[in-house]
A and B are shown apart, each in its own frame.
Chain A
Amino acid sequence: MHEMMVAQNLLEKISEEATKQNAKPISAKISCGQLYAINDEALCFAFQAIAKGTTCESVELQIEHKPIQARCKNCDLDFDIEFSQPACPNCGGDNFELLPDAPLMLEEIEFQEE
């Protein structure tokens, strides 16, 4: 349940923006790489629990998962990797390196109209 720490950091970031905008946030879009192993349900549950009673309590989270990319060392191709069948789609080889994972990002916030 490392989603709790992610939720805490997320709540801080959304609250900061809400103060700047002086408006009530109602939804937030976030994106994350697969290596963060974020479970949507766990993150939403954790966020709701800590956002209760704050200006962010009605924020709905939309979570986009970015695939992990790898670079094939045989044919230099960058491809989305499936952990269940890790192989280059071009040459079928398994000589690849993982590329840096997409970070956990707060992309967009929607606020209620006055």
Chain B
Amino acid sequence: MQKINVGKKILSANEQYALNNSKLLAERKVLCLNMISSPGSGKTTILTRTINELKGKINIGVIEGDIQTDFDAQRIRATEAPVVQINTEGACHLSAAQVASALENLPVDGLDLIFIENVGNLVCPSAFELGENGKIVVLSVAEGDDKPAKYPVIFAKSKVLLINKIDLLQTKGQVDFDIERVKTDARKLNKAIEIFPISAKTGESMTTWYDWLLNSARQTSCTSKR
């Protein structure tokens, strides 16, 4: 039996693309956020409202990842923000190579912030770095308040947790969801995580999220200035 030591990173190809992406974004002083959630948590609605309400303050571009269709890109296009749709044809996450080619098709120089809307999935996308500055995890109240405990990895890795659809909590008994439990469980895994309960549908409590975004984009444009 002949044995050899290899000691090579299995995902080195993805890591190289991610590194190139992050260099390109730093050179152009653009903040890039990778948005991850289950399907139907409201990622696209959060993006369209955010883009519309921050118009004139910040230029936002979007990379849309879906298994099929360009439905989400159409919704982003309606806001007039530049958007590139990636169809993964079955894959449950985006790869850094896909993001690299999407970046070639975005007017990066004119942008302050790029959102990558990953394929709806709470597990797989968290394993692949894309070259982003940070991950945003979205959890909608109808999904249940046990998700940080059940899917710890993405909550441990994210900079921000958006708890969406809080308008559903107004009618008592409609949805059982304990916001405090989610906050406690998420902070147990990740002390530094910022948590913003919002409703992208009604616009409730979106301001603190916007402030965080504007601040982070400002910091990125300053720190990476050469």
Contacts and interface: CB of A to CB of B under 8 A. Distances in A.
Contacts of A95: 191
B123 A104 contact: no
Given A13-B8, A103-B11, A96 B191 contact: yes
A10 B6 contact: no
A104 B100 CA distance: 22
Interface residues of A, number: 36
Contacts of B7: 105-107
Contact of A111 (B4, B8, B10, B123): B4
How many B residues touch the partner, as a band? 35 or more
A13 B3 contact: no
A21 B4 contact: yes
A53 B84 CA distance: 37
A51 interface: no
A113 interface: yes
A105 B8 contact: yes
A18 to B, nearest CB: 10
Given A10-B10, A37-B127, A107 B5 contact: yes
A108 B4 contact: yes
Contacts of B153: 34-35, 37, 83
B109 to A, nearest CB: 31
Contacts of B192: 97
Contacts of B128: 2, 5
Nearest to A83: B152
B190 to A, nearest CB: 7
B11 A1 contact: no
A19 B51 CA distance: 51
Nearest to B192: A97
B6 A13 contact: yes
Given A5-B91, A35-B153, A97-B192, A104 B11 contact: yes
A33 to B, nearest CB: 10
Interface in B54-79: none
A76 interface: no
B126 A108 contact: no
Given A2-B123, A98-B156, A110 B10 contact: no
Interface of A: 1-2, 4-6, 9-10, 13, 17, 21, 23, 30, 34-38, 83-84, 86, 94-98, 103-113
Given A5-B93, A97-B192, 20 more contacts: A2-B92, A2-B123, A2-B124, A2-B125, A4-B91, A6-B10, A13-B6, A13-B10, A30-B10, A36-B127, A37-B126, A94-B188, A105-B7, A106-B7, A106-B9, A107-B6, A108-B3, A111-B1, A112-B2, A113-B2
19 contacts: A1-B92, A2-B128, A5-B93, A5-B95, A6-B10, A9-B11, A13-B6, A34-B153, A35-B156, A83-B156, A83-B189, A84-B149, A86-B189, A98-B190, A103-B11, A104-B10, A106-B6, A106-B9, A111-B1
What are the nearest 10 A-B pairs in CB distance? Answer: A2-B124, A83-B152, A104-B10, A111-B2, A36-B127, A106-B6, A110-B3, A9-B10, A106-B8, A103-B9
